[in-house]
Structure 1
Amino acid sequence: MLACDDLQRSLEFYRDALGFQETYRFEDDGKPTFVALRLGDGSSIGLGVVPDGGAGIHGLPQRPISGRFFELCVYCDDVDSSIEELAALGHPVLMPPADTPWGERIAYVADPDGHPVMVTATKT
């Protein structure tokens, strides 16, 4: 589960820009507060709204965030064109596409809350 400042903005990134499909939605007074998304046949992520000073069900504070607590990796067919599309949609590119010594091409963008998302593909 990823705590979001603006659920709609995060849905536009994960669902609309990265291609995740919505599998579940929970609403409170008609307003979505949690959405589950799946990419392909297996990768899933939950997006939930947690206000500043708010705590999770576990009782630990989830806001304000200090630092970055996770890094998501999303595989694609073409890193360069994917990064071009994400940048055109206004998502900040943290690292442009580059080849790695372990045989992948990778790049990083920031999601709407500033979390790093690695976009990667196996080099052919």
Structure 2
Amino acid sequence: MEHKAFPVLYVGNMRRSVEFYTLLGYEQTYQFPLEGDPHYVGLERGESSLGLTHTSWPEAQLGITVGTAPRFELFLYVDNVETQIETLRAAGYEIVQEPANMPWGERQAYAFDPDGTPVALATPI
């Protein structure tokens, strides 16, 4: 049995969110149900895993309503920050912070995913 943890993001538009994370190098490896519009999608990127589920899931299963304010950011290392930001910009996603050198030795930028979650993209300098 494999012991790993991964975040599951609550998303408002599954198709748009899968598209966004696919642009960041994730590949869809699973969906439920297997046919038709998915309620859950599993994504992989190297050793990194990510789950996406519609905002109706926590409402139905846990009795909670998903708010609009982010409670975390997703931090991803990419091969080239500038290229990745331009790919997202060309696809119509909001770039929050342009690439800049950080004092800790990384070039970093921020974009919002379709639900407003901040996604940091970084490349070591």
Fold shared by both chains (TM-score > 0.5): yes
Q: Deviations over 1:24-58 (max 9, x none)?
A: 11028732100010111x11110001239x5263x
Give the residue type in structure 2 aligned to 1:9.
Answer: R
Question: 4+ residue stretches of structure 1 with deviation over 4 A?
Answer: none
Long gaps (5+) in structure 2: 1-7
Aligned residues: 118
RMSD value, Cα: 1.8
SS in 2 for 1:85: helix
Question: Sequence identity, in percent?
Answer: 39
CA distance in 2 between counterparts of 1:37 and 1:94 reads 24
CA distance in 1 between counterparts of 2:60 and 2:121 reads 29
Give the residue type in structure 2 aligned to 1:14.
Answer: Y
**In the alignment, what sits opposite 1:3?**
10
**In the alignment, what sits opposite 1:38?**
44
Give the residue type in structure 1 aligned to 2:45.
Answer: L
Indicate the structure with greater helix content.
2
SS in 1 for 2:38: strand
Give the residue type in structure 2 aligned to 1:11.
Answer: V
CA distance in 2 between counterparts of 1:55 and 1:28 reads 22
CA gap of 1:112–1:66, structure 2 versus 1, over 3 A, is: closer
The range that moved more, 29-38 or 104-113, is 29-38
SS in 2 for 1:84: helix
The range that moved more, 20-29 or 76-85, is 20-29
CA distance in 2 between counterparts of 1:30 and 1:122 reads 40
